[in-house]
Amino acid sequence: QVQLVESGGGLVQPGGSLTLSCVCSENIRSFYVTGWYRQAPGKQRELVASLTSEGIANYLDSVQGRFTISKNNAENTIYLLMYMLKPEDTAVYYCNVRRTFGYWGQGTQVTVSS
């Protein structure tokens, strides 16, 4: 069973930065796609950023230029660097990895508020 453990969430003021981390129990090179999703209260879960095994990144339009997804294969860790945070970025952020099946972490809360 693949296990994903996220960390790095918290409360930050608008314009601030956070870095989310996701440690995978298996070799992340074995997954076709790794990514970060988020879910705000009353809204559907949405894809924020994804990274293919070939290194191709895609971003939600509203975070393009502010968020960066990356990974460290040696540490089996996926990162989401978030800059210039806005109140509308407030959500629970989930790590996801996918090969034949997809696997989810437990989520980490990000709150952007003054």
Task: State residue 75's pLDDT score.
Answer: 96
Smallest Cα–Cα separation from 82: which of 23, 4, 15, 5?
A: 15
Indicate if the pLDDT at residue 100 is higher than 90.
Answer: no
- Tell me the CA distances in angstroms from 13 to 8, 16, 48, 63, 85, one per residue in order: 15, 5, 20, 17, 8
CA pair distance 49, 71, nearest whole angstrom: 12
Residue whose token pair is 């696997």: 103
Q: Give tens-digit pLDDT for 69-82.
A: 999 999 999 999 99
